[in-house]
Amino acid sequence: MDGQVQTLLNRISLVSAAVATLSLLYLFSHTSLSCRPLDPRHRDALALTFARTPFPRSSCEAAARRPLPPDKRSKRLQSTRDWRRRVDSYAALFATLRSRGVLGNASRVLCVAAGAGHDVAALWESGVGDVTGVDLVDVPPLVRRCDPHNLPFFDGVFDLGFSAGLDEALFPARFVEEMERTVRRGGGIVLVVERCSSEEEVEEVRALFKRSTFLGVGNATLVGSEMTVIMMKRKSTHP
């Protein structure tokens, strides 16, 4: 009887070991997917399943920080009047963030869902030296590719997280969670969303934040659109 139990126990532990090994292999094989171009249909499923892979902050940052000679395509894009108009629009918004003390030249800023990088360009031009722009599509040298729902940065490495892309986020709560994770305690998070016409609409956005306190709300015009700017501060006590 004891022998049988022992055999059974041995089998169980063998099976457990096999399962653990397989899970590990599975994790490893999928972890390496995170920074490869993904089929957009699978991207979000992957992002959700393999959330928060700890990458060095430098993986997306190295190229984005250098004032690179832009390639021909982006040079042409950036010489258009529309580009200038958009960058200037962001510059005006950032000027108000400076006056609120949320942003300075020494701030390490993360722009999430940065699109073509108008916000990144505006920050650079205004003298902010450390700006990282990310979005689903690579736009060198301003914007590096990664999923806003699964940022490849360590916790707390930025002073300010900025995004005008929450309205398009597939999973707004996850989007905000990742910004809160990557911004240091006491740092700022600023979201620009479609104009909120009521306190309830502002509250909807505020409620997405779990680790931040409310700093303020304001109206702004961004590239001709009436927007609401919501400013939060990462709690200094909460992990």
Ligand X SMILES: *[C@@H]1O[C@H](CO)[C@@H](O)[C@H](O)[C@H]1NC(C)=O
Give the interface with ligand X as residue ranges (CB under 6 A).
Answer: 105, 127, 195, 197, 217-219
Closest among 176, 187, 180, 113 to 143, alpha carbons compared: 113
Q: Which residues pair with 69 in a beta bridge?
A: none
Strands (E), the chain: 108-112, 130-135, 143-145, 158-163, 183-194, 212-222, 225-234
CA 44 to chain CA centroid, Å, is: 14
216, 80 Cβ separation under 8 angstroms: no
**Residue among 53 and 126 whose Cβ is closer to ligand X:** 126
State the nearest-atom distance from the C-beta of 195 to ligand X, in Å: 5
**Residue among 6 and 197 whose Cβ is closer to ligand X:** 197
State the nearest-atom distance from the C-beta of 112 to ligand X, in Å: 23
**Residue among 82 and 125 whose Cβ is closer to ligand X:** 125
State the nearest-atom distance from the C-beta of 62 to ligand X, in Å: 22
What does the DSSP assignment read for 31-50? HTTTTS---HHHHHHHHHHT
Determine the Cα–Cα distance for residues 33 and 92; give it in Å rounded to an integer: 38
**Residue among 88 and 155 whose Cβ is closer to ligand X:** 88
State the nearest-atom distance from the C-beta of 218 to ligand X, in Å: 5
